[in-house]
Amino acid sequence: MEKQEVILTVEHMDKNFGSTKALRDVTLSIRKGEIRGLIGENGSGKSTVTSIIAGMQKADRGQMTYEGKSWEPSSMIEALEQGIGMIVQESGTVPGITVAENIFLADVDRFKTGPVIDRKKMNKNAQDILDQIGAGDIDAAHITGIYDIQSRKLIEIARVMRKSPQILVVDETTTALSQKGRDIIYSIMKKMKKEGKSVFFISHDMEEIMEECDTLTVLRDGVIIRTFEKEEFDEDAIKESMIGRELEGDYYRSDDEGRLTDEVVMELSDVNLVGAEPLIDLNLVLHKGEILGIGGLSHCGMHSLGKVMFGALHPQEGKVTVWGRELKDEADAMNLGIGYVSKDRDTESLVLHAPIRDNIAAGGLDKISGNGFLITPKAEKDYVSEQIKNLEIKCQDMNQYVSALSGGNKQKVVFGKWVGRGSDILILDCPTRGIDIGVKQSMYQLMSRMKKEGKSIVIISEEMAELIGMADRIVILKDGQSRCELMRQDHPQEADIIKYMI
């Protein structure tokens, strides 16, 4: 691409978290009008370097230059005021306040008339911003907590874009979005590029990053390995740069049989659920040793289905039976050997500001206690250590807070909570969202091993390749209803799935 003017440089940057070297002598730059992709395995340093650029934290060594001047932002607020905004990977909204208050967070005083905030004016301004980015279906006057994870992410985007930043950092944001939400992000990026502004785009989706980016920088273990220009993009070369080797073994399942046993472990009978994601007259069975895939477009009902199968949502009509017994609630689900991994990992599956030890042990307290009520420190330590070892969770030790982990290692902690207690049924809602190809492969291999052990798995996914690659049977939902059932042995293609979704 034509060599435009450099807007920001990072030189010889180091960052350590205890004994972990998150960044090691990182030097990079971004030009005006450039979309720079950052890619690497979880924990490679992508989010660390961009969070330093955006004022979230400080580097231990190195210097930055922004628009020809030394750049040392004291906070994300200061960085955004100066023209660098970041949409973070984790949830960045406050659920108990209005959408407008989230968009103007730390800036609501601008709407004060004397001691009173002019909420009508604030709501109008916020709604205008939402309309401009293509999220006008979100009502600025409503409480943020009523919206799903995708809508809350669009609210964060609106908050950043109201300042018209010169540099935008998009940190794995698209993993929380449907195709409509992704198109909004892509449109914003293209508009910024056209206006001579710059974007750092972090994603694990190889297809989108190769499509949307002008250049692509690969990090591994806190070190920049290589930067690819557009004409050099090659998927195999990028993957090998990311993990330092070719992927070995099967990525998805290698068997093509997909035969089902006669034993049914869970059954949904005439289930009806009212809400934002309704379910209508849904009948479904899960067999012992089956991997059942559930797919569909946004708001098709698949995410609420996962909650119903775990007893977290109660249908108004119909019932869920497990091992022939009607499911009552989440505690009953755990007693019946069911585990659940939520799509909204950081708020529903983890306690971020708690150690790895507490998060994993919380799922197996009844397993750790030798006599039913007493948990010894040694028993807890042995239990958690086993999960960290088996799942290869990268951490300083089990006392490290989950909030300090990469996305892939957070997800491994969630898996550890349920695998550790020996769950016979696992309901996985977007289990590989926001994790790299290496961790994805290990997750898929774990699912394959669990299937061979006779465990039953439900994969709710927005990735068709994942459904096709892993499931024995795929059920597609549309408007809360089952539209089709596709069997593995029939070798379904993406086109077969899409026609039932839309």
Q: Has residue 118 got a pLDDT over 60?
A: yes
Same domain for 265 and 132 = no
pLDDT-derived band at 36 (thresholds 50, 70, 90) equals: very high
What's the rounded mean pLDDT across residues 205-226? 91
- Report the range of poorest mean pLDDT among 100-114, 310-324, 364-378: 364-378
What's the rounded mean pLDDT across residues 369-378? 75
Structural domain contains residue 368: yes
Q: Which amino acid is at 427?
A: I
Alpha helical stretches, state H, 54-135: 76-82, 99-103, 119-133
Reference 206, options 174, 178, 183, 184; nearest CA is 174
pLDDT (0 to 100) of residue 246 = 56
Same domain for 309 and 189 = no
pLDDT (0 to 100) of residue 371 = 63
Q: Has residue 363 got a pLDDT over 80?
A: yes
Structural domain contains residue 347: no
How big is the CA angle at 302 (ends 301 and 308), to the nearest 5 degrees? 90
Structural domain contains residue 414: yes
Same domain for 149 and 207 = yes
Same domain for 457 and 381 = no
Same domain for 271 and 175 = no
Q: Has residue 280 got a pLDDT over 70?
A: yes
Same domain for 235 and 143 = yes
What's the rounded mean pLDDT across residues 118-132? 94
What's the rounded mean pLDDT across residues 203-218? 90
Structural domain contains residue 1: no
Structural domain contains residue 357: yes
pLDDT (0 to 100) of residue 500 = 85
Q: Which tens digit of pLDDT belongs to each residue from 409-442?
A: 888 999 999 988 889 999 999 888 777 777 888 8
**φ and ψ of 91, to 5 deg:** -65, 130
CA distance 401 to 262: 43
Q: Has residue 1 got a pLDDT over 50?
A: no
pLDDT-derived band at 249 (thresholds 50, 70, 90) equals: low
Same domain for 203 and 154 = yes
pLDDT-derived band at 483 (thresholds 50, 70, 90) equals: very high
Average pLDDT, rounded, for the chain: 89
Same domain for 418 and 446 = no
Number of domain units in the chain: 3
What's the rounded mean pLDDT across residues 236-252? 73
CB distance 156 to 168 below 8 Å: no
pLDDT (0 to 100) of residue 384 = 93
Structural domain contains residue 346: no
Q: Quick one: tokens of 266? A: 């869970």
Reference 438, options 207, 251, 174, 234; nearest CA is 251
CA distance 208 to 297: 18
CA distance 205 to 385: 31
Q: Has residue 337 got a pLDDT over 70?
A: yes
CA distance 454 to 261: 10
Report which secondary-structure segment, H or E, holds 268.
strand 264-273
Q: Has residue 247 got a pLDDT over 60?
A: no
Q: What is the dihedral of CA 52, 57, 60, 63, to 10 degrees?
A: 40
No. of helices (H) and no. of strands (E), the chain = 17, 22
Q: pTM of this prediction? A: 0.66
What's the rounded mean pLDDT across residues 92-120? 89
What's the rounded mean pLDDT across residues 372-379? 79
CA distance 221 to 213: 22
pLDDT (0 to 100) of residue 3 = 57
pLDDT-derived band at 51 (thresholds 50, 70, 90) equals: very high
Q: Which tens digit of pLDDT belongs to each residue from 387-412?
A: 999 888 988 899 999 988 888 888 89
CATH (domain of 308): 3.40.50.300
Cα distance between the two ends of the chain:
38
Q: Has residue 314 got a pLDDT over 60?
A: yes
pLDDT (0 to 100) of residue 176 = 67
Structural domain contains residue 494: yes
User: Running DSSP on this structure, what letter comes out for residue 355?
Assistant: B
User: Running DSSP on this structure, what letter comes out for residue 346?
Assistant: I
- Report the range of poorest mean pLDDT among 75-84, 100-109, 261-270: 100-109
Domain end (from 374, 399, 423): 423
CB distance 320 to 266 below 8 Å: yes
Q: Has residue 349 got a pLDDT over 60?
A: yes
Q: What string of DSSP letters covers 430-499?
A: STTTT--HHHHHHHHHHHHHHHHTT-EEEEE-S-HHHHHHH-SEEEEEETTEEEEEEEGGG---HHHHHH
Domain that holds residue 296: 248-253+261-337+424-502
CB distance 411 to 345 below 8 Å: yes
Same domain for 438 and 415 = no
pLDDT exceeding 90 applies to what percent of the chain?
60
Structural domain contains residue 345: no
What's the rounded mean pLDDT across residues 204-210? 86
Domain end (from 423, 454, 479): 423
Same domain for 398 and 454 = no
Q: Has residue 211 got a pLDDT over 90?
A: yes
Reference 342, options 433, 406, 233, 221; nearest CA is 433
Q: Has residue 243 got a pLDDT over 80?
A: no
Q: Has residue 457 got a pLDDT over 80?
A: yes
Domain end (from 375, 401, 423): 423
Q: Has residue 369 got a pLDDT over 70?
A: yes
Same domain for 402 and 382 = yes
Same domain for 401 and 428 = no
What is the longest distance spanned by two Cα atoms in the chain? 71
Cβ neighbors of 123 (< 8 A, separation 6 or more) are 98, 100, 140, 141
Residues, the chain: 502
pLDDT exceeding 70 applies to what percent of the chain?
96
Q: Has residue 142 got a pLDDT over 90?
A: yes
